[in-house]
Every structure is written in C-alpha cells, then in structure tokens.
Structure 1
Amino acid sequence: MYKNLLALAATALLFTGCWGEKPEEKWHSFIYPDKTNSKRSLKSPVFFKTLQECQKESKNQLAILKLSDIGTYKCGLNCEFHDGMELEVCQKMLAAPVK
C-alpha cells in the first residue's frame, strides 16, 4: 500500500515538473556595422523578452546608426559570456532575413 502511494506521489511530482513554467527567454541583439565582418559586433546592454522585440529594436538601431544598407544584426537566445572561449555563447542565434 505504501509503495503504491509512494510510486503515485513520485509519478505525480515528475509529471508536474514536466508541465511547469517555461524558463524566461532573454533575447540579445548583436549589431554588425559591416555585414561582411562577423568578428566585429555591438551587443545591446539590455535584453528582450521576445524574438520580435529583438528584431524590431535591432532594425531601429541600424537605422539610428545609419547602417541599414551596410550593417546587419543577429538575435541570440539566453546568451552568456564564456571566459575560456572569450565569446558570447547562445542557445540559439538567428540572423536577420536576407534582403
């Protein structure tokens, strides 16, 4: 009896953990002043809650910097700086649509 209750409780706990909240998404904007040079970029100091917000603000920044024709952007999901590799590592990186 106790084994069955324990198994039922463990199963319930396991499944409620699977249906829990999704982790918060943090999208970072990377502006490339020269679309032919991917080594040089400007990272936004703020993060965005959605990919669409990141894309919109990236386009706005390119326009403000007057780089819309020669620059590009990428949006990275949950990026962190990796000390050993000395670069930003993101779960996902999406480039601007090609014109």
Structure 2
Amino acid sequence: MIKNLLFTAMIALLLGGCFGGEKKEEWTSFIYPDKENTKRNVKSPMTFSTLEECTEESIKQMKILQLEDIGVFKCGLNCSYHEGMQTEVCAKMLIPAKK
C-alpha cells in the first residue's frame, strides 16, 4: 500500500516537472568599469529576452561610457537580489564574445 502511494507520488512529481512550463528567460547586463574589480558593477535597469539583445546593448553602453578598453560586461540569466548575500544571484552568468 505504501509502495503504491510512493510510486503514485513520484509519477505525479515527474509529470508535473515535465509539463510545468518553462520559466521565461530574462537577461540582465552587468558592466564592470574595471576588469580587475568585479565587485563594482553597473546593472542595467532593464532586462532582455535574449542573450544576443543583452550583448548588443552591453556593447553599446560600454562605448557610450568609453569603457571598451578597460571594462568588461557579463549577461546574467534570471537574476534576482538575494537579501542574505546582499548581491544579485543569477541562474547563469555569461561573458559573451564581443562582436
């Protein structure tokens, strides 16, 4: 009886995970004015639906801020502020190849 109950619960969890729907991707740009100091960054106030959009806007902003030679940028996926760590936490953080 208990085995059947556990088996049914596991199947329900597996099916729920498969059909639960994907989380919408939101990319956030982080520009680091100094390549050597990654604790200091400028976070984009807007999010982007693709990594490509995040990359393009980051490059534009680095040119506007005249940071192309001294700064670096990263794009973070589905970022949110973590109160306990007092920092942004992202599912992925990528350094896209500059175009």
TM over 0.5: yes
CA–CA separation in structure 1 for the residues paired with 2:16 and 2:79: 28
Give deviations 1:16-72, integer Å, cap 9, x for gaps: 862564221000000000111101000000000000000110010000000100001
Larger Rg: 1
TM-score (norm 2): 0.78
Matches within 5 A, 1:1-99: 15=15, 18-19=18-19, 21-97=21-97
For these two proteins, the number of residue pairs brought into alignment is 91
Structure 1, unmatched stretches of 5+, are 1-10
CA–CA separation in structure 2 for the residues paired with 1:15 and 1:82: 30
Q: Which amino acid aligns with 1:51?
A: L
Q: Which amino acid aligns with 2:95?
A: A
CA–CA separation in structure 1 for the residues paired with 2:81 and 2:20: 28
- Structure 1 residues 18 and 73, CA, compared in 2 at 3 Å: closer, same or farther? same
Identity of aligned pairs, percent?
56
Pairwise CA distance, 1:97: 3.4
RMSD: 2.5
Structure 2, unmatched stretches of 5+, are 1-10
